[in-house]
Structure 1
Amino acid sequence: MSTPSDPIKFAYWVPNVSGGLVISNIEQRTSWDIEYNRKLAQIAEASGFEYALTQIRFTAGYGADNQHESVAFSHALLAATTSLKVIAAILPGPWTPVLAAKQIATINHLSSGRIAVNIVSGWFRGEFQAIGEPWLDHDERYRRSEEFIRSLRGIWTEGSLTFAGDFYRFRDYSMKPKPIDPQPEIFQGGSSRAARDMAARVADWYFTNGNTPEEIRKQVDDIHAKASANNRSVKIGVNAFAIARETEDEAKAVLDEIIAKANPEAVQGFADQVKNAGKASPEGEGNWAKSSFADLVQYNDGFRSNLIGTPEQIAERIIALKNAGADLILLGFLHFQEEVESFGKHVIPLVRRLEAERQSELIAAE
């Protein structure tokens, strides 16, 4: 958990999957190929972004006809940069803990410690069926992910790991070389009870879908209380889709065009899958339980964070999310290269100024 004086961090979704970050036929000057993404990573690094998050998809759908594998792609981006940290999405089932541990430890050495992982428990049943992976019940998927994370940490930190779980077992297993310290950060997402409880027990970072500061605060308080009970701390990343323009009307016009040009069949197909996944949780809710059609045009409710307007408005809303407990903002854009650069030039400096002003106020009040 960060303190109020810690600068909020910025990350971006890596478009290693075709179709961009919205399910819409609007023009997106974004490419999933490696040359575009190498340049994007360099722009992001120079613009004040500290993290990039690669995606994992094994099957086509919702405009994502082409998908580059996340771990290999993450390594390519690390090789093209010097300070950017890249978070590789890993899906238990296709990956085993020992394979992931070995891959990430190697990349950790090759990149001077700049690789992290996002453990994705899975929500798309059709994908698992297509690749011949068993589909577990909702909470079972999170139990498997927790064992996966515990196994990863054990392999990375213990001289000899013995672990007996329901999904993974190790007997006197020793892997060398270990990752260099600090150990690779472990991210995890989800909004269900099982996801939040798992994060409180084992994750370093918890990703949540876009939402208002008030709703983010509820999740933050819940996770921090549970983590504290486990003598742990967990940082919070919030998803958002940014549309920064000279005027609020211009920004809202872009949003309206994205939604007007949405692919209704693809959005509805996505809605059916994710809402079925949420209903499978014991509480009958998941990440997208309260999402509207417009919300679902952006995969992770990014519009709901409302980073749509002038740079000044966006900076103030980022501070509101920070005040609600967010430690990181995970951003999607329509035209990644030019908008990441513009965000770094026009929005991040305003955020830093507001943070400095707030810090001065706190010091003056002491």
Structure 2
Amino acid sequence: MADAGAQTSLAPASAANVLWFLPTHGDGRYLGTSQGAREVDFAYLKQIAQAADHLGYYGVLIPTGRSCEDSWIVASALAGFTERLRFLVAVRPGLLEPAVAARMTATLDRISGGRALINVVTGGDPVENRGDGFFADHAERYEITAEFLDIYTRLLRGEEVDFQGKHLKAEGGRLLFPPVQQPHPPLFFGGSSPAAHEVAVRQVQKYLTWGEPPAQVARKIADLKPRAAALGRDLSFGIRLHVIVRDTTADAWAAAEKLISHIDDATIADAQKVFARMDSEGQRRMSALHGGRRDKLEVSPNLWAGVGLVRGGAGTALVGDPDTVAARMKEYMALGIDTFVLSGYPHLEEAYRFAESVLPLLPLADETGRPKAVTHHRGPFGEMIGNAFAPEGRRASAS
């Protein structure tokens, strides 16, 4: 792996796409408790998706696993209620045959008008995997992932596939209805082990890391990017983070503490036992940031590991006022991160808060940002004062 000094050679990202998150595993105002919890039914998910669409987010990540609603069904149900929003859904090598996954992918891409994004999830919890009928060990899972992606991408490109691998086999495989996006929807993929990195440099378009401190993220990129380039591939990079944004940084830190205010030590210990059984290197690195302790949660300036005390996977949040959070995101962009997958509790309100306070401070790619439609109100400018005039300083200039 490249050393930290390689950070100086990383190519910065000039613009970013920002995705939000659909909390199909639950939502609320506090972590680790039913107090302040919110029912996550289809009506609520539709509210979040339509808000994200209206606010100009590039897309939404829909999580996968037995603690979540099925991501494909949710995305299919929401596609008709949104216009621009993309859906990042999971394919699970070992749980799904590549030909079936290719048909599902092409169908979702077609019915959504080319708005499918694919999250390749190898799975890091052996207990959950065995419950799903998947008994491969860590090394075998990545071997299966590599073979799966070979068949899957070739089918989506329109090839007739004959394949004989160590784990998978196909004879005369074909996809009759192609996806809208060519040669196929972009493949996102995460994993911190050497086996995961090998898959990333060879077979996906975007490597997605969990929210580690910038120095750790820099080392990953410095390892992956030149290896992909040596294979003639241009690998891009994204990061998965929570956000806690308030008008002042002091208020944001208070909100972070409030988020975990109902968690007791026993709940933390139970969650950490579950994480410890996993053979995911990414989860190990997330857990190592805090060690299950409440007193060392700011692991990098404005990067808080409190979410990871009880939540698996993405366990860190950027905390601060809008300018501070935007500045920290730009630090990741300087390393080459061009895609941010974000969330906040509760997800509906925080989608608005982040979009309205931080998105205007970021250099955004063309695909992210509120559509620039002309309206008679020429807003937003706040509520009318005295039913007569717009607040000074918030009038939109006439064009």
TM-score, normalization by structure 2: 0.79
Assess if the C-alpha contact under 8 Å between 1:26 and 1:257 holds in 2.
Answer: no
SS of alignment partner, residue 260 of structure 1: coil
Q: 1 or 2, which has the higher helix percentage?
A: 1
2:93 matched to which residue of 1? 92
Work out the CA distance in 1 between the residues paired with 2:122 and 2:30. 22
Aligned to 1:332: 343
C-alpha displacement of 1:201: 0.9
Give the Cα–Cα distance (whole angstroms) in 2 for the partners of residues 251 and 128 of structure 1.
Answer: 37
The runs of 5 or more residues in structure 2 that have no matched partner are 1-9, 293-305, 365-399
Alpha-carbon distance, 1:285 to partner: 8.3
State how far apart, in whole Å, the 2-side matches of 1:162 and 1:186 are. Answer: 22
- Residue of structure 2 equivalent to 1:57: 65
**8 Å CA contact retained: 2:109, 2:181:** no
Match of 1:168 in 2: 168
Q: What is the aligned partner in structure 2 of residue 137 from structure 1? A: 137
Residues 111-132 of structure 1, C-alpha deviations (whole Å, 9 max, x = no match):
111112111111122212223x
Aligned twin of 1:363: none
- State the distance in 2 between where 1:19 and 1:265 align: 21
Contact 2:30 2:262 (8 Å CA) reproduced: no
1:1-366 residue pairs with structure 2 within 5 A? 4=12, 6-19=14-27, 23-25=31-33, 30-58=38-66, 64=67, 67-131=68-132, 133-182=133-182, 183-262=184-263, 264-278=265-279, 286-288=284-286, 290-292=288-290, 293=292, 294=306, 295-303=308-316, 306-352=317-363
Instruction: From the CA coordinates, give the structure whose radius of gyration is larger.
Output: 2
Shift of 1:165: 1.4
Match of 1:90, as an amino acid? V
Instruction: Say if 1:72 and 1:263 are closer, same or farther in 2 by CA, change over 3 A.
Output: farther
Q: Deviations over 1:33-83 (max 9, x none)?
A: 11111111111122221021111122xxxxx4xx31111111122221111
Structure 1 segments (4+ residues) deviating >6 Å: none
**Equivalent residue of 1:241, what SS?**
strand
The residue number in structure 2 matching 1:360 is: none
The aligned length equals 340
CA contact 1:123–1:274 (8 Å) conserved in 2? no
| CA-atom RMSD in angstroms | 2.5
Q: CA offset at residue 29 of structure 1?
A: 6.2
Unpaired runs of 5+ in structure 1?
59-63, 354-366
Kept in 2, the 8 Å contact 1:190–1:287? The answer is: no
TM-score, L = length of structure 1: 0.85
> Residue 73 of structure 2: SS of its match in structure 1?
helix
Secondary structure of the equivalent of 1:118? strand
Change (3 A) 1:26 1:252: farther
Measured against aligned partners, the alpha-carbon deviations of 1:119-176 in whole angstroms (never above 9, x if no partner) come to: 1111122212223x13222121111112111111011113311111122211122111
How far has the Cα of 1:260 moved from its partner? 3.2
Q: Comparing 32-41 with 259-268, which one deviates more in the overlay?
A: 259-268
**Is this contact kept in 1: 2:142–2:195, CA < 8 A?**
yes
